Chain A
Amino acid sequence: MIKEIDAILDENPKAGREDLIPLLQEIQENQGYLSENAIIKVGKHLQLPTSKIYGVATFYNQFRFEPKGKYHIQVCRGTACHVLGSSTVLDQLEKHLKIKADQTTKDNLFSIEVVACIGACGLAPVICVNGEFYAKVTSESIKEIVENYRNKND
């Protein structure tokens, strides 16, 4: 079940500024992203200016500011994947979906996230869609993978 922002904050009544990052992580875990509302509410709760919270949140790659799509695509940009062409893969994926990393398509179907190393270097370049891994992807195969998800009827 998805926990509401208020419920998470209520569970941490004594949270101070040192708890900012764990709180943001917990909210993202539950909501899938950090909404503007979440940042405003955390600001009120911790009595910190929203500008500071937004500053901290945008500093770290782990936080996203748009809801995840129905199919969340993680593109590995670790060393092995990089050597085997993951930057081209990411580029093609972005062009194909007409969004950038950390964004979500208008129909809320797809979102892209860049991850540092997924831990499957033998399969490089690798992507992961909703937990399912795709090995040795190419600029061509990635379009096929995306279209298969798009045509899925679930």
Chain B
Amino acid sequence: MSLNIEVNNQKLSAEKGETILEVLKRNGIKVPTLCHIKDMLPTGACRICVVEQRKTGKLIPSCSQPVEDGMDILTNSPKVNEARKTIIELLLSNHPDDCLYCARNMNCELQTLSNTYHVRERRIRGVKNNHHLDLSSASIVRDPAKCILCGRCVRICDEVMGISAIDFINRGSNSIVGPTFNKGLNTSSCINCGQCIMVCPTGALTEKNHFPELLEALNDPKKIVVAQHAPAISVSLAEEFGMEAGKDINGIMNAALRKIGFNKVFDTSFTADLTIMEESAELIERVKNGGTFPMITSCCPGWIKFAEEFYPEFLPNLSSCKSPQQMMGAIIKSHYAQSAKINPEDIYSVSIMPCTAKKFEGQRAEMTSKGISDVDAVLTTRELAALIKLYEIDLNNIEPELADSPLGLRSSAGKIFASSGGVMEAAIRTANYSLTGKELVQFKVKEVRGFKGIKEAKINIDGLELGVAVTSGLQNAKELLAQIKNGRKDIHFIEIMACPGGCIGGGGQPINTDENALIARMKSIYNIDEKESIKVSHKNPEIRDLYRDFLGQPLGEKSHHLLHTTYEERDVLK
């Protein structure tokens, strides 16, 4: 049944069950929101989305009010604008005035709103709460003084990620958002995924930044500074420079990194290929020797910490493979250092990731060799953009360059790691070859592509029936793992990524990433796979060279030391 409503003297039709906000958005009528998250139950907490009901003159929150037939609404009446402005002024009444020094300057929803609604003075003065900066986490900085209590981080952490590391504490004007006992994030069950940063409207949640150390290394003539960039970066970075979402600027990024002063630029997709060699070998070994099933991927550091905290019983199921970032880190400080005759201590290894959890992973004790970190600094996509801006590099006027070789050539199987389902698809391609000696006729495994929370497929490799599942958004992983705990036996291999959609939707990606940007990035990734000729990791010539010259066999002695790791149960406040 269609409902008829009137908005700003314009007749609109709406469906029963829709909220006013949904109808307005569909018709291109803008309404500001703060606490609202698309596709989640509205909380109606912030009231910034109020609209006026013409008949009664009442203000109603459009995000939570369902449309009714005959409704007559004004979205920009003086009363509405006055109310919205007052809400903003109240939010600003105890907000710090240090916008110029804030990580979210020029990219802050509160700042934009106060500008839109012409707030030009501090009309209301509230008591400023004294809050400590929480620097305890390796990945995320929490500044409760800048929090406007919209609650989006709390809901993402609970409903999408299934973690609930943070919640509201205290009441009324004393309310803050924080971890249990208001302690540091490092004591909590936080997995460092950074999805809270992605939804934070202000600078209350930001990534931990390592610019000073990085700049020092870049300016130190004795240091060899090397970069590796993750598969998702080249299709996400463009957005930070106003280019269209999903545009692949891999070559331009390589050139920009060299201009900044990185001595070598490697591609993490190369070690994604390496991961596939090791992981598919591990899968086949488990099949042959009756290992623990289902085997679960270990590329995602958010998922790994989640498993260590909440699912220690599944730790034997995890692949022992390090993530591509850490494989690259280990190879750089061993093989690369040896062949380039550089002391590993003189290498400053920087990885550029769409992820904040990678910062935590990079400083795990297992990820060191003789006291030297395999990866010295991790930058997010956002931080890379900031670095490029700092060096005043004009991306529109530089020539694309290739990554350094070796460690820079990749197959497209390594590239699709960026999307949820990519690791699975790449692993199937290589496992098929290892078991049958033949390549697949159809490389595309379309059942594991796309944004669905849980994707499943049955794969037949030479009579071996393999049940595979792919999940992203850890709440979905929880559901799948519950099925397995309840005795489901038809799944043998699972890919789990913490962030919805996989790394393209990671917590280190451009703020304001919307659905359309995610779709564009994923499309771009699979386009690359479509048009390139080397579609399988085992045909990457540099991977073959690496095994021939250095590693020997997948799962061999050297691989075991450099490319594999262990996990342990974590005791945190959960």
Q: Which residue of B158, B171, B181 is within 8 Å of A54 (Cβ)? A: B181
**Chain A 67-105: CB-based contact to B (< 8 A → 1; otherwise 0):** 000000000000000000000000000000000000000
| Min CB gap A102→B, angstroms | 11
Q: Say whether B170 contacts A49, CB under 8 Å.
A: no
| Min CB gap B285→A, angstroms | 36
| Min CB gap B308→A, angstroms | 17
Q: Say whether B165 contacts A51, CB under 8 Å.
A: yes
Q: Say whether B180 contacts A39, CB under 8 Å.
A: yes
Q: Say whether B169 contacts A55, CB under 8 Å.
A: yes
**Chain B 542-574: CB-based contact to A (< 8 A → 1; otherwise 0):** 000000000000000000000000000000011
Tell me the bound Cα distance from A36 to B179 in angstroms: 13
Task: Using known A-B contacts A36-B181, A39-B180, determine if residue A50 contacts B574 with beta carbons closer than 8 Å.
Answer: yes
Chain A residues, CB < 8 A from B180: 39, 49-51, 53-54
Q: Contact size class for A?
A: 10 to 19
Q: Which residue of B164, B170, B179, B573 is within 8 Å of A40 (Cβ)? A: B573
Task: Using known A-B contacts A36-B181, A39-B180, determine if residue A50 contacts B573 with beta carbons closer than 8 Å.
Answer: yes
Residue A130 lies at the interface, judged by CB distance under 8 Å to chain B: no
Chain A residues, CB < 8 A from B68: none
Chain B residues, CB < 8 A from A36: 181
| Min CB gap B456→A, angstroms | 27
Q: Say whether B574 contacts A49, CB under 8 Å.
A: yes
Q: Say whether B167 contacts A49, CB under 8 Å.
A: yes
| Min CB gap B500→A, angstroms | 20
Tell me the bound Cα distance from A54 to B183 in angstroms: 11
Residue A108 lies at the interface, judged by CB distance under 8 Å to chain B: no
| Min CB gap A65→B, angstroms | 8
Chain B residues, CB < 8 A from A52: 164, 167
Q: How many A-B Cβ pairs are below 8 Å?
A: 43
| Min CB gap A151→B, angstroms | 36
Chain B residues, CB < 8 A from A50: 180-181, 573-574
| Min CB gap B205→A, angstroms | 15
Residue B168 lies at the interface, judged by CB distance under 8 Å to chain A: yes
Q: Say whether A51 contacts B171, CB under 8 Å.
A: no
Q: Which residue of B lies closest to A59 (CB)?
A: B171
Q: Contact size class for B?
A: 10 to 19
Q: Which residue of A lies closest to B171 (CB)?
A: A59
| Min CB gap A103→B, angstroms | 15
Q: Which residue of B lies closest to A52 (CB)?
A: B167
Q: Which residue of A43, A54, A60 is within 8 Å of B169 (Cβ)? A: A54
Q: Say whether B573 contacts A55, CB under 8 Å.
A: no
Q: Say whether A51 contacts B170, CB under 8 Å.
A: no
Chain A residues, CB < 8 A from B573: 40, 50-51
Q: Which residue of B lies closest to A49 (CB)?
A: B164
Q: Which residue of A lies closest to B190 (CB)?
A: A51
Tell me the bound Cα distance from A59 to B167 in angstroms: 11
Q: Say whether B164 contacts A58, CB under 8 Å.
A: no
Q: Which residue of B lies closest to A56 (CB)?
A: B167
Tell me the bound Cα distance from A41 to B166 in angstroms: 18
Tell me the bound Cα distance from A55 to B176 in angstroms: 10
| Min CB gap A21→B, angstroms | 14
Task: Using known A-B contacts A39-B180, A54-B181, determine if residue A49 contacts B189 with beta carbons closer than 8 Å.
Answer: yes
Docked complex: B458-508 residues within 8 A CB-CB of A: none
Chain A residues, CB < 8 A from B170: 58-59
Chain A residues, CB < 8 A from B182: 54
| Min CB gap B106→A, angstroms | 32
Chain A residues, CB < 8 A from B64: none
Tell me the bound Cα distance from A106 to B212 in angstroms: 42
Chain B residues, CB < 8 A from A60: 171
Tell me the bound Cα distance from A36 to B187 in angstroms: 13
Residue B188 lies at the interface, judged by CB distance under 8 Å to chain A: yes
Docked complex: A107-123 residues within 8 A CB-CB of B: none
| Min CB gap A15→B, angstroms | 19
Q: Say whether B168 contacts A55, CB under 8 Å.
A: yes
Tell me the bound Cα distance from A60 to B182 in angstroms: 16
Tell me the bound Cα distance from A35 to B455 in angstroms: 43
Tell me the bound Cα distance from A40 to B182 in angstroms: 14
| Min CB gap B523→A, angstroms | 36
Tell me the bound Cα distance from A50 to B158 in angstroms: 12
Chain B residues, CB < 8 A from A58: 169-171
Chain A residues, CB < 8 A from B181: 36, 39, 50, 54
Docked complex: B279-331 residues within 8 A CB-CB of A: none
Q: Which residue of A lies closest to B157 (CB)?
A: A51
Tell me the bound Cα distance from A43 to B163 in angstroms: 13
| Min CB gap B181→A, angstroms | 6
Tell me the bound Cα distance from A129 to B168 in angstroms: 33
Chain B residues, CB < 8 A from A40: 573
Chain A residues, CB < 8 A from B166: 51
Q: Which residue of B163, B167, B188, B574 is within 8 Å of A55 (Cβ)? A: B167
Tell me the bound Cα distance from A151 to B165 in angstroms: 46
Q: Which residue of B lies closest to A54 (CB)?
A: B180
Tell me the bound Cα distance from A58 to B172 in angstroms: 11
Q: Which residue of B lies closest to A44 (CB)?
A: B574
Tell me the bound Cα distance from A49 to B475 in angstroms: 14
Tell me the bound Cα distance from A55 to B573 in angstroms: 14
Q: Which residue of A lies closest to B180 (CB)?
A: A50
Tell me the bound Cα distance from A43 to B188 in angstroms: 14
Q: Which residue of B lies closest to A55 (CB)?
A: B167
Tell me the bound Cα distance from A43 to B310 in angstroms: 13
Chain A residues, CB < 8 A from B163: 49
Chain B residues, CB < 8 A from A39: 180-181
User: B-side interface residues toward A, CB under 8 Å?
Assistant: 158, 163-171, 179-182, 188-189, 573-574
- The 20 sampled A-B contact pairs (Cβ below 8 Å) are A39-B181, A40-B573, A49-B167, A49-B180, A49-B189, A50-B180, A50-B574, A51-B164, A51-B166, A51-B179, A51-B188, A51-B573, A52-B164, A52-B167, A53-B180, A54-B182, A58-B169, A58-B171, A59-B171, A60-B171
Closest 3 CB pairs of A and B: A49-B164, A55-B167, A51-B167
